[in-house]
Structure 1
C-alpha cells in the first residue's frame, strides 16, 4: 500500500509539472508557463477529456467535430457553419473554449454525464494556448528521432554521451548525481544485468583491491553463453513463449528449439534488425535455410486450441490477431489492438489500417483447431505448418539446439503423454522434433475488415498495409512479412529503435525513459528525457543495430555507475527516481532469484538450451487446476541435473504456470508482455522461507562449506560473501554468529528436527558431517537468502 501511495504521489507530481510548469523547475506548480505547448500541456487534457467523442474514432465521433487534427479543429462546425471550434488567437471566438467555461450544464463540455471536468489550471492553459495561436504539433513518437547536440558539462561528471542529457535533466530539477557505487556493488550490478548471475568470489577478490575496468569486464561477460540466457528472459515474455498451448485442455508443445535459437542469436550478437527480420519473415528470405525457418517460430508462440467443439475459423482469426497485436506492442510500442473493432480512439490508426497490418499474418496455411480438414485424409493439427528437426540437422546445421539423448527424450515424451502411450511410436518420435513455424501462404485466403472484430462478419476487402501515420509503406517493398520487416527497420521509421532502446533502458534501470513501453501513442506517457531517448535510438541505428554496443554505452556511463543511496531531499524531489540522480534499487526477476540461489550454492547446472524442465512445485497443483484431460494433466517432476537448471528453462504450462515464479511477477505467457508487474506481498517472503529450491541450496551450500573443515565464523563469512557480494560488517557478523549458535544449541538437542530440516531436496546428503552443524549452518544460509539485499540489484 505504501508503494502504491508513493507511486500515486509521484504520478500526480509529474502531471502537475507537465500541466503547470513545463521544464522550468523554478516556477511554482500552479503557474502557467510562458509558452504553452500542445504536446506537453494541451494534448494530455484533450486526450483525457475530449478525444473519446471528438478524436480519431469516426464511429464514436459526435457533432462531426474532431479536435486531434488541426485542419478539422479550425474548420467551420458542421452544425453551425458560422462558428469554429478553435480560432487561433481568439479564445472568445473559439466554440470549444466557450463550451468548456460555460455555466450551462446543457452546454458545458465535457458534459456532466461523463463525470469528467477540467480544473481551473487546465482551462487557463487552453485559453493561453489559443491566445498564443493554438499551434498543433505532431505526436513526438511519430516523428523520426534525431541526435541533439550534447548539453554542456563543466563539472566533468559525464563519462558517456548519455550522461550529458541525464545531468541536464537533473539540474533543471535541482538534483545532483550520486557518487559512484563502490567496486563490489558495481561489479555485482553489472554481472546481474549482463549474465543474470552473481560474480564468483575470485572475481570479487580481484576487484575489491582495485577499481574494475568495466570495459574489460563487459568483454568477458559478453563472451559467456550465460549472456544469451539472460537476454532471452525478456524476449520470452515479449514473444509469449510457453511449453503448452493454453486454453482448457492445454496440450504439450515443442517450441523450445526456437528458444535455443534466441539464446544463440544473442550470444552471436546478431544485429537487432536481422534478429527481428528472421523471426518475422525468415522463411521469405532468399535461400532461406532451416535456421531462418526456425526463427519464425516467434510468430507461432501464441495460444492454440485443440478442443472439440471450437469453431475453426474463429480460432484461426484469433491466431492472426495475436500476431498482429504482438507486432504492435513488442516492436512498434503501439496499441494496435485498440483498432481491431473500430478506429483507434486516440491514435491515428483506422480499423482498416489494422486489418491491412493483420493481412501480413493472415496468409499462412493453418487451421484453428485439430479437426479433420476438407482435402486431407487425416487430422490436420492447428500446429501446421511445422518444421522437423532431426539429429542430422543438429549435427550439420542447427548445432546450437541442445538435443538431449534419446533415452531422455523418450522419458520426457512418456511423462507428457501419460498412461497408455506407445513406447515404440514415442521412440520414433524422439528422433524428430517438430516446431510450429511460418510456412507457405494460402493464396486463396483474402483479408477483410471484420465488423466489430467478429471473425464471421467480413466487410471491406483489404490488402497488406501499415498505419500511414507511423510511416507510409514504400511502394517498392513486397507486400509480405519480409516487406513489413524492411518497413520496420527503415531509417525513417520513428518507433522501432526508440521502442527497443527504451526496453533495454527498462531492463537496466527498472523503468523506461517512456514508462509505458507498450504504448508510445497519444495515451502513453511522455518520455521523461526525449533528447536522451532519441540520441540512443539514432546511435543504435548508426551502430548497425548492435545490442552489445548499446548495453556497453549505458553500463559505462556515470549514470549507471551511481550508488543507490538516497537522501531525504532526493526522495522528496524525485520519489520515482525518474531523473536518475541515483541508481534504482530493484528486486531481481523471478528467474534471477532462482539463478542467484542455485549459482551461489554451487547447485546450478550451467548447461545451455534444451527442453524445459519441471522443478519442485506443490503436489497436486496441476491435477487440481486443469480439466484432467490432455497430455499435461499430471505433473511429472524432473530429477537429477534437471532440477538445477536456470529459471529460463522452467516449464511454462499456461493454465498452471510455475507458482513460485508467478508470485515474483513472472509472466504466464498468455500474450505479449513488455513489462512485468511489480508487487510486494507476504507470499513472496513465504516462498523464500519455504521453497524447496532455497532450502536445498542452503543445505548443500552448508555441507560444501563444512567439508573444508574451517571455523564456523569463517564459513559464515564465505557464505555471506558469495551470496551478497560483499564482506559482512562487524555487527552483521555478530548477529549471524549468534544465530548460528542459537540454531546449533536447539538442533543438537533435537536431532529429529535437524534430520527433517536436512531432508529437503533430492541432492545427496553428506551424512559424514555432524548433523547439528549441518542443520544450523543451513539455517544461517537460509536466513542470508531471505535478506532483501540478496534478491535486490542496487
Structure 2
C-alpha cells in the first residue's frame, strides 16, 4: 500500500509539474509578434481591471472605462494632463505607470481589490500593444464568424476532412504529432456510445472487425446515425439545457407531465430537424402562422422551470421568477452569455446594461402563465397555458408520442396574452420596484434588433436568434456538440462566450464550423458526422511523455480524450450488456430501484410524490433518459455520477471521481441484477467457462481480453466458485437481488460465481470509460 501511495503521489507530482510548466509556457513565453486586444489584452483587463473600469457604471472608479477606446484614450478626470492610454507611446500612458509601480498608493490593481498584480510578461504585453497602436477590437464572440481558408499542413496523409486541417496546423505549430488511429474495437466502442449512448453488440463488433474496406468506419457511422437510439442520446444534453424534470420543485414538489415534450425532442433529433427550426419552434412555435399542435408542443422548452404550489405566496413575485428563469435559459443555453448578471445592475464585464436585460425579458413577459395557480390534480397535471393532446392527435400528427393510455395528455406550453403587458426595469431586480418602462428588444451588443425584420414578440426573437448574421447561435451550438464528443468545447466555458469566458483554443476552426453549419442548412447530423469521421476524433487515447510535457490538458488534441460516460449511459451500459434493456423509445418517466426513505425524508407529505412508489416489470429496465426526476430529490445513483439535478439550465456537467461512484457500481441492485441476469444467459449457453468469461468481457468492455486479463478473471472466478462450494459465501443470498426471475434450474453456486465475476468486470474503470 505504501509503495502504491508513493507511486500515485509521484505520478500526481509529475502531472502537476507538467501542467504548471505548460501554463507558464502559455502565459510567460516570448511576446507575440502582433499583440491582439481580443486574445492578449482583453483577458487581462477582464480579470484585473473591468471590476472598477468596465461596463458597470454603478461601480466605475475615476470615471475611467477601459473596455472602450474613446474612454481609454480620453484625458483622465482625476490626473490632470494625463491619459490612461496614448496609442504608440507606452512611456506617456498612465496605465503603464500604474501597473508597473511598486508604490501601493498608485499601483493598479489596488492591493485592496485583491485582484493581484500583473506579471512582468503581462506588463510587457501592454507596453508592446500600446507601442503597436493600442488598437481595440470588438469582442470576438460578438462579431459574425468568417469561414477562413483551410490552413496548409505538412502531414496531408493524416487529414480525413476539413476539421483535421485546423487541428493539425495547430499541432505542427506547437511541435506536436497526432496519435495514430485507435484500434477498431476501441474506436467502435467510442463512436457507438457517442452516437447512441449504448455499447456495440458482439454482432456489430464482429461485423466491423471483419470489414476490411476503406469505407468500413464511415459505413458504421452512417448506420449508427440512423438508429432511433441516436435521438435519445442527443436528447440527454438538451434535457440539461432545458432543465427538464418530472416535478415542479419547491415545497410540495408535485408531479407534472412534460414528458411528451421530451418525446418531441427525441423525434426532432432522429428526424434531423434543422437547428434553426428546432430553436424557432421551441422559442415561438405557438406564434408561427397556422401553428400546429407540434409547433406548440415544442414551446414546452420554456415551461420546464420550477413552479410553486405553496399557499400564501405573492403571485407577481413568482411570475417574475419564472420570467427570469426563461431569460437565463435562453441566453445561457442558446446564446452562451451570462446576461443574468444584469438582472440587478449593469454587467460588470460584458456590455449588457440592466435595461438590455429587461428589454430581453420583455419577450417572455406576455405569457398567460401565473405565478401561483394552486395545486395540480390528477385531472390537471400541467400549469396554464396548456396543450391538450388527444388520442386522435397521437394517432395522426403526434404519432411519436409514446402513450398506451387513451386519455388526453396535458403539457405546459407558451401562449400569449391578447393585450401587451408593460415591462419595466426592476430596481435591484426586485419584483415590486418598477423603474423605467422598456420595449422588447434583443441584446444589441450581440446584434441589432431590427424591427423592420423582427416583430417585437417571441417570433421576432426567434428570427433574430437564428439570423445568419447572429454571431453567437451557430458558434454556441457547434461548441456544445464538439463538447459532447471531446469532453470540452473549443471554447471551454461553453455557457459563457463573454468577456470572462475562455478564449477558443482553435478560433478559426470554431468559426469555420459555425459558418459551414449555417451554409449547409443547420444540419445537425451532418455536423455530428463531420466530427466523428475526422482523424482528430479517431485518434488513440494513448498518452506520451511529449503530450504530458507540452499539452497536459490536451488543448491541441494530439490524442483522443479519455472520458467517463455520462450517468445515464452508465445505466444504459449495464442494462444493455445484460440484455435487460427495454429499448422502447419515449413515454412517461419511470421509477427504478432507489434506497428507501429518500423521498419521504425530503417531502412535505403532500401530493402524489410524497412517497416513492417503485415501478415494476419492463419499467425497471428503461434507459437512464427516462428516469423520473423529482427536483427536490433527483435520482441518487445518477447524481453520484454528476448528472444534472435539473433545477436550472446546464450546458456542461461537472466531472468528479468519488468513492461513492465505486460503491454504486459494486452495490447498486440494478448493477447486481444485471450481473445475475447476464450470468444466467451465459450459463444457459453451450460453452466453456473460459468462453463465457470472454463473452462477458467483450459485452462489457467491448474488446477481446488479453491473455493476462483472461488469466486474472478466470482465477477470480475459480476462487469465488470455491468459496461458494465451501459455503464460505452464500449463493442464495448473493443471487437474491432484483425482480427479474431467477433461473432455479441452474447450479446456484456456479451462477453466483459467474455473477460476481461479471460484476467485477462491470467495476473495471474501462467499463464506464470511452
Alignment TM-score, normalising by the size of structure 2: 0.95
Within a 5 Å distance, the mapping from 1:385-404 to structure 2 comes to 385-404=385-404
Matched, 1:540 2:517: yes
Q: Distance in 1 between matches of 2:584 and 2:380?
A: 35
- CA spacing shift, 1:436–1:382, aligned 2, 3 Å: closer
Q: Distance in 2 between matches of 1:641 and 1:143?
A: 51
Q: How far has the Cα of 1:723 moved from its partner?
A: 1.0
Matched, 1:640 2:617: yes
Contact 1:369 1:382 in 2 (8 A): no
Matched, 1:620 2:597: yes
Show the counterpart of 1:432.
408
Runs of 4+ off more than 3 Å: 1-20, 379-382
The counterpart of 2:564, out of the listed 587, 598, 602, is 587
Contact 1:243 1:612 in 2 (8 A): yes
Within a 5 Å distance, the mapping from 1:135-534 to structure 2 comes to 135-155=135-155, 156-211=157-212, 213-371=216-374, 383-405=383-405, 431-441=407-417, 443-476=419-452, 477-534=454-511
Q: Distance in 2 between matches of 1:4 and 1:367?
A: 54
Secondary structure at 2:766's aligned position in 1? coil
Q: Distance in 1 between matches of 2:183 and 2:104?
A: 62
Contact 1:515 1:527 in 2 (8 A): yes
Matched, 1:680 2:657: yes
Secondary structure at 1:740's aligned position in 2? helix
Q: Distance in 2 between matches of 1:11 and 1:349?
A: 35
Contact 2:18 2:549 in 1 (8 A): no
Contact 1:371 1:381 in 2 (8 A): no
Q: Distance in 2 between matches of 1:627 and 1:129?
A: 61
- CA spacing shift, 1:10–1:529, aligned 2, 3 Å: farther
Secondary structure at 1:370's aligned position in 2? coil
Contact 2:284 2:459 in 1 (8 A): yes
Q: Distance in 2 between matches of 1:164 and 1:39?
A: 24
Show the counterpart of 1:75.
74
The counterpart of 2:695, out of the listed 706, 709, 718, is 718
Q: Distance in 2 between matches of 1:103 and 1:440?
A: 60
- CA spacing shift, 1:462–1:641, aligned 2, 3 Å: same
Structure 1 unaligned spans of 5+: 21-28, 373-378, 407-430
Q: Distance in 1 between matches of 2:216 and 2:130?
A: 55
Q: How far has the Cα of 1:711 moved from its partner?
A: 1.3
Q: Distance in 2 between matches of 1:606 and 1:381?
A: 27
Q: How far has the Cα of 1:171 moved from its partner?
A: 1.2
Secondary structure at 2:715's aligned position in 1? helix
Q: How far has the Cα of 1:18 moved from its partner?
A: 4.9
Q: Distance in 2 between matches of 1:17 and 1:443?
A: 60
Contact 1:97 1:126 in 2 (8 A): yes
Show the counterpart of 1:124.
124
Secondary structure at 1:352's aligned position in 2? helix
* CA RMSD, 1 decimal: 1.9
- CA spacing shift, 1:179–1:380, aligned 2, 3 Å: closer
The counterpart of 1:768, out of the listed 745, 749, 763, is 745
Show the counterpart of 1:422.
none
Q: How far has the Cα of 1:215 moved from its partner?
A: 2.2
Q: How far has the Cα of 1:42 moved from its partner?
A: 1.3
Q: Distance in 2 between matches of 1:46 and 1:229?
A: 43
Q: Distance in 2 between matches of 1:727 and 1:699?
A: 22
Structure 2 unaligned spans of 5+: 1-7
Show the counterpart of 1:46.
45
Q: How far has the Cα of 1:440 moved from its partner?
A: 2.5
Cα deviation per residue 1:493-519 (whole Å; 9 max; x = unaligned)?
111111001111100010100000000
- CA spacing shift, 1:213–1:50, aligned 2, 3 Å: same
Contact 1:751 1:772 in 2 (8 A): no
- CA spacing shift, 1:16–1:471, aligned 2, 3 Å: farther
Aligned length: 754
Secondary structure at 2:410's aligned position in 1? strand
- CA spacing shift, 1:627–1:8, aligned 2, 3 Å: farther
Cα deviation per residue 1:65-86 (whole Å; 9 max; x = unaligned)?
1000011111122334532111
Q: How far has the Cα of 1:104 moved from its partner?
A: 3.1
Q: How far has the Cα of 1:604 moved from its partner?
A: 0.2
Q: Distance in 1 between matches of 2:135 and 2:285?
A: 45
- CA spacing shift, 1:150–1:391, aligned 2, 3 Å: same
- CA spacing shift, 1:157–1:338, aligned 2, 3 Å: same
Q: How far has the Cα of 1:112 moved from its partner?
A: 1.3
Q: Distance in 2 between matches of 1:633 and 1:8?
A: 48
Cα deviation per residue 1:49-97 (whole Å; 9 max; x = unaligned)?
1101100011111111100001111112233453211111122321222
Matched, 1:36 2:41: no
Q: Distance in 2 between matches of 1:717 and 1:381?
A: 49
Secondary structure at 1:459's aligned position in 2? strand
Show the counterpart of 2:756.
779
Moved more, 442-451 or 465-474: 442-451
Q: How far has the Cα of 1:392 moved from its partner?
A: 1.5
